Amino acid sequence: MIIDGKKMAEEIKESLKGEIVKSGKKLKLGIVQVGENSVSQKFIERKVKFSEEIGVKTKIYNLPAEITTNKLRKKMAEICKLVDGVIIQLPLPQHINTQYILSSIPQKKDVDVLSAKAIGDFVVGKQNVLPPVVQAIRKIFVKNNIEIVGKNVVIIGAGLLVGKPAMIWFINQGATVFVLRRLTQNIFKFTKEADIIITGVGNPGLIKPEMVKEGVIIIDAGTAMEKEKLLGDVDPSVASRASIFTPVPGGIGPLTVAMVFKNLLALNKK
Amino acid sequence: MIIDGKKMAEEIKESLKGEIVKSGKKLKLGIVQVGENSVSQKFIERKVKFSEEIGVKTKIYNLPAEITTNKLRKKMAEICKLVDGVIIQLPLPQHINTQYILSSIPQKKDVDVLSAKAIGDFVVGKQNVLPPVVQAIRKIFVKNNIEIVGKNVVIIGAGLLVGKPAMIWFINQGATVFVLRRLTQNIFKFTKEADIIITGVGNPGLIKPEMVKEGVIIIDAGTAMEKEKLLGDVDPSVASRASIFTPVPGGIGPLTVAMVFKNLLALNKK
């Protein structure tokens, strides 16, 4: 089955919209972008669109690429006071100490769950909200009655936004977890054993049909941009072997955006 | 090579002793034990012995097995004020919310790195001190010039004290990481591919020679007690196939105890 992430995101959008109208709350999301990046630009536009449609205000803070870590941290402190939730659009420029900046977000405004404190709570299972990509995966799994305990989960990539949070969550759910990365050799040996594959490395065509077993569940969180086209890590022909398959575009991406706003509301409920 | 963890621990002991004499500091370590457990008792005795030998005072708080989570948390707040570092001897009784208790330890006194805050800093790589077992592993790896980047690391078990911290650390070091657990089927398929095996499940004889490749590095952090004898997870005959092998007893255990005190000193340096 091919997951229609766009449709699922629309359903969440409607429900969040209703919740916001009912609560009468006026929420504001700050989006911080450092330097220019056409891919980031696209993702920001999607968030802004979603935001407007549910009645949440957004404010985009465009900061110069050459800003120092210290100046950015100071700027973050100001921004965090003005909004109800903050997103730092990743990646930040190479010279910035990314984690130092991410950890400056107060936990109640950390919709992406990227500050050290929020991550600590997440690891020990006491989080207020789950990382957006994890929430999106969870939604698909719950909807389709997918059991996790004892399953072999292959995660490709160990990045901040997909690999690491997925690893922590699946471990906490009782799965066997394999984290493969760029230097891993013969990845087919492990993908072949996977009941579930989560991939988020930005390497189009990395996973081919002969590398997976029949009935595998595939969540493709890869986002490579080629000639203005968004591509995942999984060859689309793998879909026919999978029992659950999230395409790119229109799979886990829109659902993850929706979860950012679900988190914004959840964190501002009390 | 069989690692002499006892000897390595002795060296650390001498160095810590010297450091304490030099600093003139009077440090006190609190050890909290809830209920009675003969294995825990043994581990506590080892820590007390090490402590006395380096000139650190210990105070053991024996609390009744039927204490409630809330009462224990209150008690923890009192204890934490009286000491420079705290150890909660695990496991706690089933009815206790273990993580809630662990997270009550202030980060500067959290020598075991088990509070949510300390874990969050550890995940993002900004920790003050490393979890003791990770420090012990690191020590062995540094001493023997073992490269980690790109290596296949198989971790058996995902517990608080060994599996989870090892997983986080090896991921942060750039390894490919496989976390196997009780329900994982055919574990030999994965142990066979391992350059490094870390095991901490308390299942004596789990790993046999035919399950590993020649030259594997094995850290055995298993601690099962059988007829008053401490046993690891790895069959001792595996040693001859391994390039590095930590036996039980006398391997990673004493080294990990030493690292608890290294952490105590490091956290009380400033």
Q: For residue range A120-172, what is the model confidence (pLDDT) as tens digits?
A: 999 999 999 999 999 999 999 999 999 999 999 999 999 999 999 999 999 99
What span, in angstroms and rounded, lies between the C-alpha atoms of B52 and A205?
60
Please tell me whether residues B46 and B151 are part of one structural domain: no
Q: Which of B116, B184, B189 sits opposite A121 (nearest CB)?
A: B116
User: Do the domain assignments include residue B259?
Assistant: no
User: Do the domain assignments include residue A268?
Assistant: no
User: Do the domain assignments include residue B116?
Assistant: no
pLDDT at B198: 98
Mean pLDDT of chain A: 97
Q: Which of A117, A119, A179 sits opposite B176 (nearest CB)?
A: A179
Question: Which of A21, A77, A80 is closest to A53 using CA atoms?
Answer: A21
Complex-level ipTM? 0.95
The nearest CA of chain B is from the CA of A154 a distance in Å of 9
Residue A37: pLDDT band (50, 70, 90) is confident
Q: Which domain holds residue B211?
A: 132-252
Please tell me whether residues A138 and A248 are part of one structural domain: yes
Question: Which of B137, B172, B152, B167 is closest to B216 using CA atoms?
Answer: B152
Please tell me whether residues A230 and A149 are part of one structural domain: yes
Please tell me whether residues B246 and B136 are part of one structural domain: yes
In this prediction, residues B229-258 reach a mean pLDDT of 97
Give the residue on B whose Cα is nearest the Cα of A171: B158
User: Do the domain assignments include residue B261?
Assistant: no
Q: Are A182 and A202 in contact (CB under 8 A)?
A: no
Please tell me whether residues A96 and A139 are part of one structural domain: no
pLDDT at A270: 67
User: Do the domain assignments include residue B179?
Assistant: yes
Domain end point (choices B107, B123, B144) = B107
Please tell me whether residues A139 and A224 are part of one structural domain: yes
A117 interface with B at CB cutoff 8 Å: yes
The nearest CA of chain B is from the CA of A126 a distance in Å of 9
The answer to whether B171 contacts A158, with C-beta atoms less than 8 Å apart, is yes
Q: What percent of chain B has pLDDT over 70?
A: 100
Residues of B in Cβ contact (< 8 Å) with A167 = 167, 171, 177
Instruction: Count the domains in chain B.
Output: 2
Q: Count of alpha carbons within 13 Å of B76, Cβ hemisphere only?
A: 26
The answer to whether A184 contacts B117, with C-beta atoms less than 8 Å apart, is no
Q: Are A245 and A238 in contact (CB under 8 A)?
A: yes
What span, in angstroms and rounded, lies between the C-alpha atoms of B70 and A41?
49
Dihedral (Cα; B227, B233, B238, B242), 10-degree rounding: -130
pLDDT at A35: 96
pLDDT at A256: 98
The answer to whether A120 contacts B116, with C-beta atoms less than 8 Å apart, is yes
Residue B270: pLDDT band (50, 70, 90) is low
CATH number reported for the structural domain that contains residue B58 in this entry: 3.40.50.10860
Please tell me whether residues A142 and A247 are part of one structural domain: yes
Per the model's pLDDT, the better-predicted residue between A38 and A215 turns out to be A215
Tell me: pLDDT of B228 over 90. Answer: no
Please tell me whether residues B98 and B149 are part of one structural domain: no
Q: Tell me: the pLDDT tens digits for A77-121?
A: 999 999 999 999 999 999 999 999 999 999 999 999 999 999 999
What span, in angstroms and rounded, lies between the C-alpha atoms of A56 and A28?
6
Q: Tell me: the pLDDT tens digits for A70-87?
A: 999 999 999 999 999 999
Mean pLDDT of chain B: 97
pTM (predicted TM-score):
0.97
A149 interface with B at CB cutoff 8 Å: yes
Give the mutation candidate from A161, A170, A177, A188 for the B interface (greatest B CB count, under 10 A).
A177
Please tell me whether residues B165 and B239 are part of one structural domain: yes
CATH number reported for the structural domain that contains residue B186 in this entry: 3.40.50.720
The nearest CA of chain B is from the CA of A179 a distance in Å of 5
Residues of B in Cβ contact (< 8 Å) with A177 = 167, 177-179
What span, in angstroms and rounded, lies between the C-alpha atoms of B100 and A12?
32
Over the Cα atoms of chain A, what is R_g? 18
A121 interface with B at CB cutoff 8 Å: yes
Dihedral (Cα; A68, A71, A77, A83), 10-degree rounding: -70
Q: Which of A120, A152, A179 sits opposite B117 (nearest CB)?
A: A120
Please tell me whether residues B141 and B245 are part of one structural domain: yes
In this prediction, residues A245-255 reach a mean pLDDT of 97
A97 interface with B at CB cutoff 8 Å: no
> In chain A, which among 126-145 make CB contacts under 8 A with chain B?
126
Please tell me whether residues A85 and A196 are part of one structural domain: no
Residues of B in Cβ contact (< 8 Å) with A116 = 117, 120-121, 123-124, 126
In this prediction, residues B21-43 reach a mean pLDDT of 93
Tell me: pLDDT of B45 over 70. Answer: yes
Residue B235: pLDDT band (50, 70, 90) is very high
* Beta-sheet strands, E only, within A113-208: 152-156, 176-180, 196-199
Element (H, E) at A39: helix A38-54
Give the residue on B whose Cα is nearest the Cα of A190: B190
Please tell me whether residues B95 and B145 are part of one structural domain: no
What span, in angstroms and rounded, lies between the C-alpha atoms of A63 and A65?
7
The answer to whether B120 contacts A121, with C-beta atoms less than 8 Å apart, is yes
| Cβ neighbours for B270, distance < 8 A, ≥ 6 positions apart | none
The answer to whether B180 contacts A180, with C-beta atoms less than 8 Å apart, is no
B125 interface with A at CB cutoff 8 Å: yes
User: Do the domain assignments include residue B16?
Assistant: no
User: Do the domain assignments include residue B126?
Assistant: no
Element (H, E) at A263: helix A252-267
User: Do the domain assignments include residue B157?
Assistant: yes
Q: Tell me: the pLDDT tens digits for B71-113?
A: 999 999 999 999 999 999 999 999 999 999 999 999 999 999 9
Residue B38: pLDDT band (50, 70, 90) is confident
Q: Tell me: the pLDDT tens digits for B163-215?
A: 999 999 999 999 999 999 999 999 999 999 999 999 999 999 999 999 999 99
Q: What percent of chain A has pLDDT over 90?
A: 96
Tell me: pLDDT of B114 over 70. Answer: yes
